[in-house]
Structure 1
């Protein structure tokens, strides 16, 4: 442990008492997430209870140049919670108060540790809901930090669209508010969007003001099978180009459907399948369904299988959210390596089809799913933990996917973020703009203590003269 970190830990222990620990088991837990990347344990963990705790802790760490890693629920997939340089992890899960709900203004204020399920449970009697649904019961602070999205993004947007303002503790312990409750603003730099997606590298989010959405009068969910993944994706693209306001459009390939049948006790046909959901008034939903059914038939789609009761609909979507565990169960003892890319929707059918062909060519087991309504899809590649040849083929597959995304104007990640796993791919994607990103990092975190080793390598780019 570096001397500066040792000094910071001594001071933090004196300041926070039983909120602060260096216990091995707790340190290891805070380096363990839903990731296949190597992770490093922090030297200590602080359980913050309020924004003031974060301010005090960051000031102490800044004085000693001690690295800091924010932690929500540990559901990130690209190594964002790894303490690459040791230091202190600040666990925000205890900051879980819902501070305000303004039903008339369709917004709310929450602490960073509130999870999306907890928030929606608290909104049940207001006629509103928080629409960003990445699957995992992630914390709001973590979702903002990784610019999360999920199954509802095609209709309601991502964290980029729903976050109105943030309370952020900067690297020197200064607390700032990034925006207001106004629905729009043209007042200066958009600091809120700067911190949404920064993965804790510029500051620690402690509170968030969020847009909420009215619960629709009617929600209708259905599944529809297709002869190929290309046909299924093409149907969604055609629907979007026809202005059908899909609320959810999720692709599962045949292998992923088989995994869901086994794990979630479903009885779906083992074919490429779309999970669809429609929101609106009774008349609007009827019109959407009629138009979508016609488009599906044009691409070889079968009849819609409806989940009309709330319990049945929830079961269907819970199965979709459990696909990670369902995929792992296909090959017990395997290591799951998740990856994702996002491309313009017109390019999606070809990119998905080519990726499917790559999986077959490389001899890998990789169930596919995707938020195809916004051009984003995922693979969960199952490999032997000690099979280095197989892991090398996964690296090749990931490289092909990202190169293909870049070739059509897409991105190396639609929602998982960069973390430690995609630093090189971000550099290839942003090119000369990486110098500007590093300039922002240096300006806000000159000592490089905020989640160092994530998103970019500051030392690889010269400062502006």
Structure 2
């Protein structure tokens, strides 16, 4: 409903032309009736001096030049406003992608611009970019082609051509996501940043670095370690910065350093139509305008294609110690974690691994010892030597109060590496133990820390009742934990039981005012759970943002939520 126009006192409302839907069919807005009245009065005045001289100050003409100009300007303004509105691009009422012929034209045009090798249609590469063996599900289709750009400018040109032919675009960096985040349910062009994996700038004094999307976080830290700085967000070993931005990932360091959103200063983003924007400048603090950086972090490539990221760095701690402690039950371990957070004892990492996961470590090897097959907490303490010693003492006492065995601490840098590698490689260790035809379903939820013992204990019970290889592990320090389940993919009944346990766990987290995903993202796998978590109104606000930046739904379509509202 339009707001009423309030007519100034003493004025009459001008009659607006009756415009048809298309602006080209609208009559020209001519001089208002009020203006014509004034013009007629002026003409009569010039013809009759006697009549003009008979006017006194108490009977001055109503339509003065100033009043006439104001009403004329108002009429013209309304006409301009109508024209602007009717000519503005409107979001389509349904998604309409190009045909295969259109996609072939796009591929040919891009090859002509950049060379044959830039765009691949090789079947093996399409399979690699559209299917993931560790994702909870996969799309039925593969991308039509894979582009390998080398610069922001090339990504912009790719986007312009894909926009022209209505070809979906799917960003791809590490390919290690778990919710089909990089799948291609509508076909289209996957944009692989394999050749955009460099450090572009490093500012040691400002403690920040500018990188391209396909540099891995481990590779980044190796290249900058001589500066005494490091990037602290540490998900799976194969994760790359582009995907980490897309899912707002975290990792084992989250309890101390936070998640990806806390470490991204600005982004260079290519929009759906090929425009290039930078979300902000380089200071760590700003209150200038909307937080566009935060808008793109966690959007899974549905709002724009990230081609550069400026990241904060922090100093490498003076001292680091790694300790492991066993507990008689999963609840004892979870209660220890909750109490430690509540007391504010500083730890860099706090990870939980249940008895099944400890068995995986033993079977996979690599730590040089055999562990008790019972729930464990892995701790990493870092800071000054005095601060680390104090944190270790407080944590040891708290763990003993919760029935823990004695702490075991790494005695060398190699032991630190081996222990922490066992935790970081947990999913890949499970994958290495698979039998023919089996898959691993890995999922995560997050809850307020007070509910950790309850949800972990109940989830552990349900996983055990499955009667198959299933474990609990994860970043318990920030209320986020994971379940990994190995099941027979050829057995529909077994998959159905696994699926029920997974989504019961997700629903339980939501009942506790938690989240359906702490760091894996929504992708295809958790769209239904997101609706339960946020509700249709909140989802529709997200949908409105998406439509404003990508009205033709070309950027990673099908992820997070669908084009249509639920009926």
Q: Classify the TM-score, shorter chain.
A: over 0.9
Q: 1:286 aligns with which of 389, 393, 397?
A: 389
Q: 1:15 aligns with which of 110, 113, 120?
A: 113
**1:76 corresponding residue in structure 2:** 177
Question: SS of 1:337's equivalent?
Answer: strand
Question: In the alignment, which of 133, 136, 152 is matched to residue 36 of structure 1?
Answer: 136
- Unmatched segments (≥5 aa) in structure 1: none
The answer on whether the counterparts of 2:136 and 2:525 sit within 8 Å (CA) in structure 1 is no
Alignment of 1:153-192 (within 5 A): 153-192=254-293
Note the C-alpha offset of 1:274: 0.6
Cα distance 1:408–1:239, how it changes in 2: closer, same or farther (>3 A)? same
- Determine helix, strand or coil for the equivalent of 2:311: strand
Give, in whole Å, the separation in 2 of the partners of 1:330 and 1:350: 30
Higher relative contact order, chain-length normalized (CA < 8 Å, sep 6+): 1
2:542 maps to which residue? Answer: 437
2:463 maps to which of 354, 359, 375: 359
Aligned to 1:316: 419
Among candidates 212, 216, 219, match of residue 320 of structure 2: 219
1:264: how far off? 2.6
Q: Is the 8 A contact 1:108 1:211 kept in 2?
A: yes
Alignment match, 2:350: 249
Query: Equivalent residue for 2:380?
Result: 277
Measure the CA separation in 2 of the matches of 1:105 and 1:396.
49
What does residue 526 of structure 2 align with?
Answer: 422
Looking at structure 1, the residues matched to 295 and 402 of structure 2 have their Cα atoms a distance apart, in angstroms, of 41
CA deviation after TM superposition for structure 1 residue 137, in Å: 2.1
Quote the residue 2:562 is aligned against: 457
Q: TM-score when scaled to structure 2?
A: 0.80
The answer to whether the Cα contact below 8 Å between 1:146 and 1:198 also exists between their aligned partners in 2 is: yes
Q: Is the 8 A contact 1:75 1:136 kept in 2?
A: no
State the Cα distance separating 1:329 from its structure 2 match: 4.1
1: CA distance between counterparts of 2:472 and 2:311? 31
User: Take 1:131 and 1:216, find their aligned partners in 2: how far apart are those partners?
Assistant: 11
The aligned residue for residue 164 of structure 2 is 63
- Distance in 2 (CA, whole Å) between partners of 1:166 and 1:349 is 38
Answer whether contact 2:464 2:470 (CA < 8 A) is retained.
no
Q: Is the 8 A contact 2:327 2:403 kept in 1?
A: yes
Task: Find the residue that maps to 2:143 and give its secondary structure.
Answer: coil
Cα deviation for residue 438 of structure 1 reads 0.5
- Distance in 1 (alpha carbons) for counterparts of 2:114 and 2:125: 16
The whole-number CA distance in structure 1 between the counterparts of 2:314 and 2:406 is 30
3-state SS of paired residue (1:293): helix
Distance 2:154 2:240 in 1: 18
Give me the whole-angstrom Cα distance separating, in 2, the residues matched to 1:327 and 1:149: 21
Shift of residue 204, structure 1, vs aligned partner? 0.5
Matching of residues 37-436 of structure 1 within 5 Å: 37-39=137-139, 40-266=141-367, 267-333=370-436, 334-431=438-535, 432-436=537-541
Summarize deviations over 1:270-294 as a string: whole Å, max 9, x none.
Answer: 1100110001101000100000000
Cα offset, 1:307, TM superposition: 1.0
Report the alpha carbon displacement of residue 330 of structure 1 after superposing the two structures with TM: 4.4
SS class of match (1:460)? coil
Q: CA separation in 1, counterparts of 2:187 and 2:111?
A: 16
2:431, 2:196 → 1: CA distance? 32
Gaps in structure 2 of 5+ consecutive residues: 1-98
Q: Secondary structure at the match of 1:123?
A: helix
> Secondary structure of 1:176's match?
strand
Q: Distance in 1 between matches of 2:508 and 2:314?
A: 35
**Distance in 2 between residues matched to 1:136 and 1:177, nearest whole Å:** 28
Deviation, 1:182, is 1.6
SS at match of 1:447: coil
Cα distance in 2 between the residues matched to 1:139 and 1:19: 21
**CA distance in structure 2 between the partners assigned to 1:172 and 1:346 by the alignment:** 46
Between 304-313 and 29-38, report the one with greater CA deviation: 29-38
Kindly indicate whether the alpha-carbon contact (under 8 Å) linking 2:131 and 2:138 is maintained by their aligned counterparts in 1: no
Instruction: Tell me, in whole angstroms, the C-alpha distance in 1 between the residues paired with 2:119 and 2:349.
Output: 42
Change in Cα spacing, 1:308 to 1:212, as seen in structure 2 (3 Å) is farther
Q: Which residue does 1:5 correspond to in 2?
A: 103
Whole-angstrom distance in 2 between the partners of 1:121 and 1:265: 22
Does the 8 Å contact 2:248/2:298 carry over to 1? Answer: yes
Describe the superposition over 1:374-406 as per-residue Cα deviations: whole angstroms up to 9, x where unpaired.
011111111101111110011111111111111
Q: Is the 8 A contact 1:166 1:209 kept in 2?
A: yes
Q: How many angstroms apart in 2 are the aligned matches of 1:308 and 1:51?
A: 46
Q: How many residues align?
A: 462
2:169–2:189 Cα contact (<8 Å) kept? yes
